[in-house]
Amino acid sequence: MATAANTMTSNDGAAIEARLSEERLFPPSETFSAGANISDPAIYEKAGENPEAFWAEWARQLEWVEPFHTVCEWNPPHAKWFLGGKLNLAANCLDRHLKNARRNKAAIIFEGEPGDTRVLTYYDLWREVNNFSGVLQHLGVGKGDRVTIYLPMIPEAAIAMLACARIGAIHTVVFGGFSADSLRERINDSQSKVLITADGGWRRGNVVQLKLTADEALEGGACPTIENVVVYNRAADPRHVAMTEGRDHWWHRLMEISPKRVDPEVMDSEDPLYILYTSGSTGKPKGILHTSAGYLTQALATMKWTFDIKDEDVYWCTADVGWVTGHSYVVYGPLAAGATVLMYEGAPDWPHRDRFWEVIEKYGVTVFYTAPTAIRAFMKWGTEHVEKHDLSSLRLLGSVGEPINPEAWIWYHEQIGGGKCPIVDTWWQTETGAHMITPLPGVVSTKPGSATRPFPGIGADVVDENGDSVPPGSGGFLVMRTPWPSMLRTLWGDDDRYQKTYWSKFGSKNLYFAGDGARRDEDGYFWLLGRVDDIMLVAGHNISTMEVESALVSHPAVAEAAVIGRTHEIKGQAIAAFVTLKDGFRGTSELAGELKEHVAHHIGVICRPDDILFSAELPKTRSGKIMRRLLRDIAEGRALGDTTTLADPSVVAGLKDKYENAEG
Ligand code: 7RM
């Protein structure tokens, strides 16, 4: 028996093993396939034979000022796509739709948390974006300048982003839940000239005071590059908002005095579009840089094929614009496709736990895209909130952000989708810009818990330590063998870190390493196993956190689980499980024993958790991903590491107390 390395990164050495076996298969219904944007399975082979031709065909669906002459230039690890092409992304998202019947179609349907609503047609949105482009120019913003956007989930977030794109400025959106320190760090790293914020936004009946936080970030000249701050009046009485003379301006005042029309700047395919910071687990945030034509091409392609988007759809992606999902699938993808996108400002449980279902019923949402963390919360709350509403307008469901446990998948399928909607489990990253591994809902039979196959034209693979493909059924490292249009181009101001982080693991093989573990089954389906840094090494066996968590979630009492490996003298690591129960269940020691046996029975005795700790909540990042690193600190009795990226730091502090006071 191996007493393997007591290190926290247990991913070296033994191959990642896979135990979860899921037999359920959901083929697309005939009616869905018949009406789908793509229903021919031959597309996989066709795209695989010539990915560049495949992507070029999609790129030609954009509106170009000048066509590209070269599809892709690949100097590992740097790629350029659609070289020589000129276009403007805001024009692709707005102006082009004014020439057809979409002119008066709803582009954005907005539902504020307090219940206020707005509908912006494509023409309305085009007018707002033009006018706000004028504002930015009035403030001296030009091509290549950086603009930080720190706004709630309101249409102005999309307007500000598109106005930047229209004039060629680079936006960097900072999630409205981030602190003054995080905001300051991102403004300074990007050297933004202008900050766009709001007095506040609504969250669970309270106003999140964005302007106060922005003032704190800027205090005492801490952000020397910021020349102007634009403040949108969303939530408060403007008389009560402190405005710094000469620096701060009300959005609506600037709109009045600025040009109403601004022609779109002619941009190169490879001109930067945005920087989006990812906090990573530790250290300085990474400024992921995305460029123009390739990014929009893949956002559009996936919008049409993954989400099967049609002109009649009412599409709702619940992600905040502060995350990449909000960039690609609230703003750029849907608007490039001419879709109607719903934006909701607030929390899913405000004023009641049925708010999402109420919104779906109210607007007749047809395509709904959310995260496993939300789905597990809905499961925890129980079905009575869902049953109050008519969700029959739904025709397609999506999931993103974490592996979706098979039980959560089935619940989503039955309770939300009424058993009739395909589910697209979309694997991708801030770095990849758009979907990479996902079913095509009219083509691929889905298996609960699997993101299924790489999108056509994507060269995903699962490899061993040496970068060689693993045989079917085995686990390994998820990599990309070939560049893709919406890939990150570099890290802002740190190309060395770009090369080291993503391209160095397999040396001269030039593989993009995503940081995730995966398994590919006999049908070629990908099963995401979680971040490799989280994978556990128990008695010489690499065990995926995702699989033990899914086994726990398959017990009727469990809503959510986070599993980690803590150092163990004999086994290398022992498994500690933090478990949240569904409403109505109690965390007794009998139940803990039952759960241990449940896991052992389902996926093997080697995976039996050594400790189970019941917890009402788990530590999550602000975008809802479970943070296992801090749970390891707790289980090993260490001082807690960096907690600044947590949504609610009190959750880990509470867990630490509880863990230390629990019996052995
Ligand atoms: C879109 C987004 C990226 C990381 C990624 C994975 C995890 C995302 C899935 C998933 C399993 C999925 N961007 N992840 N989607 N894991 N199945 N469908 O989330 O940059 O914030 O995170 O999220 O670990 O590497 S992100």
Helix or strand run (H / E) with residue 57? helix 51-59
**Mean pLDDT, the chain, integer:** 94
Q: How many CB atoms lie within 10 A of CB 290?
A: 27
Is the pLDDT score of 19 beyond 90? Answer: no
Q: In what order do the strands lie in the sheet with 541-543?
A: 16-17, 541-543, 536-538
515 Cα nearest atom in ligand 1: 25
Å from CA of 400 to ligand 1 middle: 6
CB 404 within 8 A of CB 449: yes
Half-sphere exposure at residue 383, Cβ-oriented, CA atoms within 13 angstroms: 12
438 Cα nearest atom in ligand 1: 18
Q: What is the pLDDT of residue 8?
A: 30
Helix or strand run (H / E) with residue 536? strand 536-538
Domains and CATH numbers, the chain: 534-661 (3.30.300.30)
Could you tell me the sign of the dihedral formed by the alpha carbons of 458, 464, 468, 474, in that order? Answer: negative
As a whole number, mean pLDDT of residues 232-252 equals 93
Longest Cα–Cα distance of the chain, Å, equals: 75
The one-character DSSP state at 403 is: P
Is the pLDDT score of 214 beyond 80? Answer: yes
Distance CA 116, CA 114 (A): 6
Tokens of 473: 């059924």
Q: What is the pLDDT of residue 401?
A: 97
As a whole number, mean pLDDT of residues 533-548 equals 91
Q: What is the pLDDT of residue 319?
A: 98
As a whole number, mean pLDDT of residues 618-640 equals 89
Paired residues of 287 in beta bridges: 277
For ligand 1, atom 26, name the residue with the nearest CA.
Answer: 429
Its pTM stands at 0.94
For ligand 1, atom 19, name the residue with the nearest CA.
Answer: 401
CB 262 within 8 A of CB 137: yes
Q: What is the pLDDT of residue 5?
A: 30
Ligand 1: list residues with CB < 6 Å: 278, 324-325, 399-403, 425-430, 451, 514-516, 528, 531, 623
Is the pLDDT score of 9 beyond 70? Answer: no
Q: Which percentage of the chain shows pLDDT scores above 90?
A: 88
Residue with tokens 């276009």: 87
Beta pairing class for 367-370 and 396-399: parallel
Å from CA of 461 to ligand 1 middle: 16
Å from CA of 371 to ligand 1 middle: 10
Q: What is the pLDDT of residue 648?
A: 83
pLDDT in tens, 78-100: 999 999 999 999 999 999 999 99
As a whole number, mean pLDDT of residues 597-602 equals 95
Is the pLDDT score of 485 beyond 70? Answer: yes
Looking at residue 168, its amino acid is: G
pLDDT in tens, 360-407: 999 999 999 999 999 999 999 999 999 999 999 999 999 999 999 999
pLDDT in tens, 273-295: 999 999 865 679 999 999 999 99
Is the pLDDT score of 1 beyond 90? Answer: no
Å from CA of 563 to ligand 1 middle: 17
Q: By three-state DSSP, how is residue 13 classified?
A: coil
For ligand 1, atom 2, name the residue with the nearest CA.
Answer: 429
Is the pLDDT score of 7 beyond 50? Answer: no
Q: What is the CA radius of gyration of the chain?
A: 24
Å from CA of 528 to ligand 1 middle: 9
Å from CA of 307 to ligand 1 middle: 17
Residue with tokens 């009035």: 138
For ligand 1, atom 11, name the residue with the nearest CA.
Answer: 403
Choice among 285-299, 418-432, 561-575 with the minimum mean pLDDT: 561-575
Q: Which percentage of the chain shows pLDDT scores above 70?
A: 96
- The larger pLDDT score, comparing residue 329 to residue 9, is at 329
